[in-house]
């Protein structure tokens, strides 16, 4: 079966649930025999964007680098799942214009909910002035105006959000839930 590549770009505040949803999507798509890769913002920053800071310019460079890699994967028929804050609309829009099958997924949760989920204490450090340029506190987050999918993680479970994405992919003709479920059950 020839697979069509796509970029599933999960954007949202720290603690909104991007990585959790992305990891679960990865598992579900792999179980259905799709070629898929996960590009997590924190890991990419460690390996591909080491040395970049958190200024707007550095964040834009980081997002463009992730977008470049995701596009390479997508062009070769792989579903690239990206979980990155990517706070600026302009760069996300640029990626949407220059890539194929770019699906913007807004992982939305109120700031207070994101702060309550913060096991690393980053929001508290940002509020205390210990972390500069922290998205949602001292730096802006520009929510998508017209995302393809909105996953409201304060109202829906991870499974519900994952199913929302899977059904969107099916409606767009990028995957078949039934066909690949049958083939994965035979394996």
Active site positions, annotated: 86
Three-class secondary structure assignment of the chain: CCCCCEEEEEECCCCCCHHHHHHHHHHHHHHCCCCEEEEEHHHHHHHCCCCCCCCHHHHHHHHHHHHHHHHHHHHCCCEEEEECCCCCHHHHHHHHHHCCCEEEEEEECCHHHHHHCCCCCHHHHHHCCCCCCCECCCECCCCCCCCCEEEECCCCCHHHHHHHHHHHHHHCCCCCHHHHHHHHHHC
CA–CA separation, 164 vs 171, rounded Å?
A: 11
Tokens 């796509």, residue located: 6
């Amino acid at each position: 079966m020839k697979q069509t590549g796509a970029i599933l770009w999960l954007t949202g505040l720290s603690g909104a649930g991007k990585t959790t949803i992305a990891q679960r999507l990865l598992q579900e798509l792999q179980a259905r025999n799709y070629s898929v890769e996960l590009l997590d913002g924190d890991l990419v920053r460690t390996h591909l964007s080491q040395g970049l800071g958190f200024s707007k310019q550095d964040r834009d460079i980081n997002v463009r680098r992730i977008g470049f890699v995701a596009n390479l994967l997508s062009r070769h028929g792989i579903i690239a799942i990206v979980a990155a804050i990517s706070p600026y609309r302009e760069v996300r829009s640029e990626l949407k214009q220059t890539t194929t099958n770019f699906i913007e997924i807004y992982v939305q949760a109120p700031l207070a909910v994101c702060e309550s989920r913060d096991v690393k204490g980053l929001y508290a450090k940002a509020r205390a002035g210990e972390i500069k340029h922290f998205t949602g506190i001292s730096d802006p987050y520009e929510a998508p105006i017209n995302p393809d999918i909105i996953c409201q993680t304060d109202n829906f479970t991870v499974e519900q959000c994952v199913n929302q994405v899977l059904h969107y992919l099916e409606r767009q003709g990028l995957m078949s839930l039934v066909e690949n479920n049958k083939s994965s059950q035979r394996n």
